[in-house]
Structure 1
């Protein structure tokens, strides 16, 4: 090593592959601390002040357990429904051309653009006993608003885009020639779907399911109104 490199090694430092990596990393970590770590540390600090005995008592309270059961149960049911109908909707948008296709494709992203509180108020207005849809369900003995069924409907609304937008790009990459080859070899339509198409869509479908389930477990704005938060009936864990 030359004498110049020994005395001033920083002058001969190799340039970074990612320009500005140090500055970007510093900004990212600072933002992470402000947005995530500080609120979480405050939550932990507040909980630690209760003491272990009080914390366990609150965690095992029947009201808390029931709220967790409702949140995870409704999120799972909504995610399963979104998985089935999300794949079907993605299939229709990719494989068929029909009037209004672009409108329906844009409406899929509506839950992303619409404030969750507005969605909750709208769904409550529709499914309340005196709502546009609820008034027809009430005589049949079907109550949606202020029940777990209303929570499932709200979670279906907010979770559907996760499945559609996860499956849609994968479905667009599947060539029609694969289906034609399967039909040429004597496969029925059901066999083509179950043995040729679905195996390739399964990872994307499971990813969309996981995203919809995670969103459903933590969803608050669109659920809080239609749930009614009746203890032991429709009270959700995020509350």
Structure 2
């Protein structure tokens, strides 16, 4: 979540710059809106995003683009928002014509341009820039899992580490669920089918949830994210989590079982 917010802020900088320049023109502080600076900044941001996305794709075998279901979801979301803005503009235009409002008060063409720019900018962000932030978060989580496994002093056949328990809610006013990500590793010298049972605990070491993982095939020293019945596999891999809880998971206990591959 944190990296997505950082990417969102960077993405908004050219628009904020252009808007600020427009306000200066309106206040008489400058004669023309500065488009070259914001446009150049946007181009630089886009080029850097392509480089970062390419690195993540080739280094971590991540998809370069969103999958089809995510694209459809984004298109529907932006389409609904764009439709609502269009209806508002149409209704406002009808009222303006009846009351003979001057164009300085309501200019439909300008409003269409503004609404179109908002919808287009949101579409680009949701289809391209936000996934990059999510991919960075995924890679950081993956690297944390590797580090935690290497630092572990356990000598069990199967190791489990928690690398994330993050609120799936930006606003503090809502009652968030927490996305929890666990990784499991096969420490044996033979491939195994592995299943773990996780007992998640809160800060007071009170039980929050007990859940069984799905059976996963692991090669020797192989490590994969724990998936359960709550894992949404149709989503992009960087959006997936092991399971949800109503409280942050601070501690955990686990049991495991494994067998040879059939």
Same-fold status (TM-score > 0.5): no
Bigger RCO of structures 1 and 2 (CA < 8 A, at least 6 apart): 1
Structure with more of its chain in helix, by fraction:
1
Query: Normalization by structure 2: what TM-score?
Result: 0.25
Structure with more of its chain in strand, by fraction:
2
Query: Normalization by structure 1: what TM-score?
Result: 0.27
